[in-house]
Structure 1
Amino acid sequence: MNYKEIEELKSTLTNMMKKGCTLMVPAYRATGKIVGIGFKPYWTNPADSKIEKLEINFMDSIGRVIPFDIYNIIGYEIVSLDGKRIEDAKNICLDIHLYTNVKRRSTEKGDTLRIEISEISEE
């Protein structure tokens, strides 16, 4: 991941939080309204190639604020998008690529975590 990709991901996630979106992480059965997002490092350096920590705070169905931490993000892929541009999208599905130190038999460098973010529809 390069500087531009890191900044795009940070900007997208922050904008989705401002819109009042819901987060769903199927692998962890985590679902709720996004109430806060934090990044480490906060300021991106042009030499950076990963996000050390992404913390997404979300509110579950009974009102508890739950922190969801993702470590060592080395890339991401947009799986689906319902707009022409990522800034206009109401629903985004991302595969987040994570670096792991575990030796594997395959050629993969790390794990993949799917997150789905969607705007809260007003009905």
Structure 2
Amino acid sequence: MNLQEIEKLKSILTQFVMKGCHMQCISNQNNSLKAAGRVVGVGFRPLWSSPIDSKIEKIELNYIDQRGTLQPYSLYNVVGYDIVSYDGENIEDSDHISFDMHVYSPIKAASTEPYDKVRISIHKGSAK
């Protein structure tokens, strides 16, 4: 990732959280649900990106699960992402967006794809 891609991802996630959204996070390795609920906060490390950055060290999504408990969901070493789908004319006008986050895994460093994929679906409004 380059600085523009990092800032675009941060902007998209922040805008969705500010307007109120729900999320589902699914591991592409075994298609298991990792997290689901209403997102109430998002944080990034580092908070301020620099031109030499090629990854986001940590993205933390704080959400309220179906039992009403505040839960953190963290992705570490995000080295890239793909926008899988969105439902608006452009991303900023969309009510639903799906990402495949590429999370670097040192265990897979020698393989042809040295990252795990996590599918994050975010939609504005109430849970669907």
Q: TM-score range by the shorter chain?
A: over 0.9
Mapped to 2, the partners of 1:4 and 1:112 lie a distance apart of 21
Using the alignment, how far apart are the partners of 1:26 and 1:55 within structure 2?
Answer: 15
Partner of 1:47: 52
1:7 matched to which residue of 2? 7
1:6 maps to a residue whose letter is I
**Structure 2 runs not aligned, ≥5 long:** 28-32
Distance across 2 between alignment mates of 1:105 and 1:53: 22
Q: 2:38 aligns with which of 33, 38, 53?
A: 33
- Find the counterpart in structure 2 of residue 116 from structure 1: 121
- What CA distance in whole angstroms lies between the structure 2 residues aligned with 1:9 and 1:86? 11
Cα offset, 1:26, TM superposition: 2.6
Per mean C-alpha deviation after superposition, the further-off stretch among 7-16 and 23-32 is 23-32
Give distance in 2, aligned partners of 1:61 and 1:101: 33
Partner SS, residue 46 of structure 1: coil
Structure 1: tracts of 5 or more residues without a match: none
- 2:22–2:126 contact (8 Å) kept in structure 1: no
| Map 1:77-116 → 2, pairs under 5 A | 77-103=82-108, 106-116=111-121
With structure 1 as the length reference, what TM-score do the two structures score?
0.93
**What SS does structure 2 have at the residue aligned with 1:102?**
helix
TM-score (structure 2 length as normaliser):
0.89
The percentage of counterpart residues that share the same residue type is 48
Aligned to 2:30: none
Structure 1 runs (4+) greater than 6 angstroms displaced: none
1:84 Cα deviation from its structure 2 partner: 1.6
Aligned mates of 1:16, 1:24 — CA distance in 2 = 13
